[in-house]
C-alpha cells in the first residue's frame, strides 16, 4: 500500500505525535493543510479532551490527520522503599520550586479503553500508537471506523511483532528520535536509516521513518532507504503553531549538537531530551507510568516559573538543526 496515495497526501511528511502540550490542534491542522499528515499526541488527554481536540482539528482542516495513544501498560508492583527513594530524590527539586514534597496521584495513567473510544468517536484517518502492540480486536475497531493503524517499532523483531498483530504500517524509530522510545520488547537504538533498511528487508508493510530527520536531504535518504513517509518531531518543536512553552523554546534555540541524552528521570521510560538538572540528578525513578505521574507537578511548576532545568525538554539529536517559523515553512523545508 502506498501511504501517500491512500491518505491523499501531497507531501511525504508526518508531524510526529507530541503529547504533553506541544502538538496543538493548530499545529496538527497546519501540517495537514500543507499536504502532510498532522498527528495529535493524545496519550495524556482525558477522553473528553480527545473528543474536543479532534473536533478542533476538524474545524481547522478537512484534510486527513492522525491521533496517537500509548498502548496500555500493566501497572508494576511498587515497594515502599522504591517509592520513598524516588520521592527523596525529587524532594530537593520540589523545594527549589517551592512545591510541597511530591506524592503519587490516585490515578497514574488515563484509561486506555476510554481513550480509544474517544479516538473512534473522533474518527481520524490514522490511529497510531507506541509502547507496545495492541490486541487485534482493537485494531479491528479502528479499521471499522475507517482508520489505518500504525504501530511503533525500535527494532526489526518489534516491527515483525506488529506486522503479525495486524497493523497497517509501522513507524520505525531510530535512536536519534526526540521524546520517548516507542518500543516495548527490544530497543536496538539503531541508526534510523539502518533500521529502515533492515525493516524493509524483513517486512512487507509500509514503513514510516522517524528519528533525526531535520532536512530535505534526511527525508530524501529515508525515502530512498525504503520508507513511505518521514515522521518528524523535533523539526516542528519551534513552529509558531506548536504549544512548546517559552522556557522550552529558549532552551531549544540555543541547543548544540551533543546536548541531548536518554533519560528515565521524568517518566520511568527512556526518552531523549536536552540534558538538565533532572537528567543529571534523578537516578532512581519509579517505573512508568508512576514516575511520569510523580513528576507532573514539578514539570507544571517549572513551566509556570520559567525554569527549564526542571522541565522535560524532549528533543532529538538533530535539535541544533531546528529553526522557528510557520509549520508550513518548516514542512516545505523538509520536502524532498
Ligand X SMILES: Cc1cc2nc3c(=O)[nH]c(=O)nc-3n(C[C@H](O)[C@H](O)[C@H](O)COP(=O)(O)O)c2cc1C
Binding site for ligand X (CB under 6 A): 16-19, 22, 41, 43, 68, 130, 152, 173, 176-180, 182, 210-213, 231-235, 314-316, 318
Which residues 6+ apart lie within 8 Å of 164 measured at CB? none
The CB-of-71 to ligand X minimum distance in angstroms stands at 10
Query: Bridge partners of 68?
Result: 41, 128
Q: Which is closer to ligand X, CB of 203 or CB of 312?
A: 312
The CB-of-47 to ligand X minimum distance in angstroms stands at 16
For 202, phi then psi, to 5°, come to -105, -15
The CB-of-161 to ligand X minimum distance in angstroms stands at 16
Q: Which is closer to ligand X, CB of 288 or CB of 314?
A: 314
Q: Which is closer to ligand X, CB of 221 or CB of 234?
A: 234
Q: Which is closer to ligand X, CB of 99 or CB of 125?
A: 125
Q: Where are the alpha helices (DSSP H) in 61-126?
A: 80-96, 112-122
Determine the Cα–Cα distance for residues 87 and 285; give it in Å rounded to an integer.
9
The CB-of-306 to ligand X minimum distance in angstroms stands at 18
Q: Which is closer to ligand X, CB of 99 or CB of 162?
A: 162
Here the contacts of 25-28 (C-beta below 8 Å, separation 24 or greater) are 25/53, 25/56, 25/57, 25/60, 26/60, 26/241, 27/236, 27/239, 27/241, 27/242, 27/243, 27/327, 28/57, 28/61, 28/65
Q: Nearest-CA neighbor of 313 among 280, 289, 286?
A: 280
Q: Nearest-CA neighbor of 321 among 198, 180, 176?
A: 176
Determine the Cα–Cα distance for residues 241 and 255; give it in Å rounded to an integer.
20
User: What are the angstrom distances between the C-alpha of 181 and each of 36, 96, 173?
Assistant: 23, 29, 8
118: which 3 cell numbers? Answer: 474517544
The CB-of-162 to ligand X minimum distance in angstroms stands at 13
The CB-of-285 to ligand X minimum distance in angstroms stands at 18
Q: Which residue is nearest to ligand X (CB)?
A: 233
Q: Which is closer to ligand X, CB of 22 or CB of 330?
A: 22
Q: Which is closer to ligand X, CB of 102 or CB of 183?
A: 183
The CB-of-312 to ligand X minimum distance in angstroms stands at 8
Determine the Cα–Cα distance for residues 283 and 335; give it in Å rounded to an integer.
40
Amino acid at each position: 500500500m502506498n501511504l501517500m496515495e491512500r491518505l491523499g497526501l501531497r507531501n511525504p511528511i508526518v508531524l510526529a505525535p507530541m503529547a504533553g502540550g506541544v502538538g496543538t490542534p493548530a499545529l496538527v491542522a497546519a501540517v495537514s493543510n500543507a499536504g502532510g499528515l498532522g498527528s495529535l499526541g493524545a496519550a495524556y488527554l482525558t477522553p473528553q479532551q480527545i473528543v474536543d481536540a479532534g473536533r478542533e482539528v476538524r474545524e481547522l482542516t478537512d484534510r486527513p490527520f492522525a491521533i496517537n495513544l500509548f498502548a496500555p501498560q500493566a501497572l508494576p508492583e511498587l515497594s515502599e522503599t522504591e517509592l520513598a527513594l524516588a520521592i527523596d530524590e525529587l524532594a530537593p527539586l520540589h523545594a527549589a520550586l517551592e512545591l510541597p514534597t511530591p506524592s503519587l496521584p490516585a490515578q497514574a495513567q488515563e484509561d486506555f479503553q476510554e481513550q480509544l473510544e474517544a479516538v473512534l468517536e473522533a474518527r481520524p484517518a490514522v490511529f497510531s500508537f507506541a509502547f507496545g502492540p495492541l490486541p487485534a480486536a482493537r485494531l479491528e475497531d479502528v479499521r471499522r471506523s475507517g482508520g489505518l493503524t500504525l504501530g511503533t517499532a525500535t527494532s526489526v523483531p518489534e516491527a515483525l511483532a506488529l506486522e503479525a498483530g495486524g497493523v497497517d504500517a509501522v513507524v520505525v524509530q531510530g535512536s536519534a528520535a526526540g521524546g520517548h522510545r516507542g518500543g516495548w520488547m527490544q530497543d536496538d537504538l539503531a541508526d534510523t536509516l539502518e533500521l529502515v533498511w533492515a525493516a524493509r528487508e524483513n517486512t512487507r508493510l509500509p514503513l514510516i521513518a522517524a528519528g533525526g530527520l531535520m532536512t530535505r536531504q534526511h527525508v530524501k535518504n529515508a525515502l530512498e532507504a525504503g520508507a513511505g513517509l518521514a515522521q518528524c518531531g523535533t523539526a516542528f518543536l519551534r513552529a509558531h503553531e506548536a504549544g512548546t512553552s517559552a522556557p522550552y523554546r529558549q532552551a531549544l534555540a540555543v541547543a548544540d549538537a551533543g546536548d541531548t541524552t536518554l533519560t528515565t528521570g521524568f517518566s520511568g521510560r527512556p526518552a531523549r531530551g536536552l540534558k538538565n538538572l533532572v537528567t543529571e540528578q534523578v537516578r532512581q525513578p519509579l517505573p512508568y507510568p508512576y514516575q511520569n505521574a510523580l513528576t507532573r507537578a514539578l514539570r507544571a511548576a517549572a513551566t509556570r516559573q520559567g525554569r527549564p532545568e526542571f522541565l522535560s525538554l524532549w528533543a532529538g539529536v538533530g535539535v541544533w538543526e531546528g529553526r522557528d517559523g510557520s509549520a508550513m515553512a518548516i514542512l516545505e523545508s523538509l520536502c524532498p
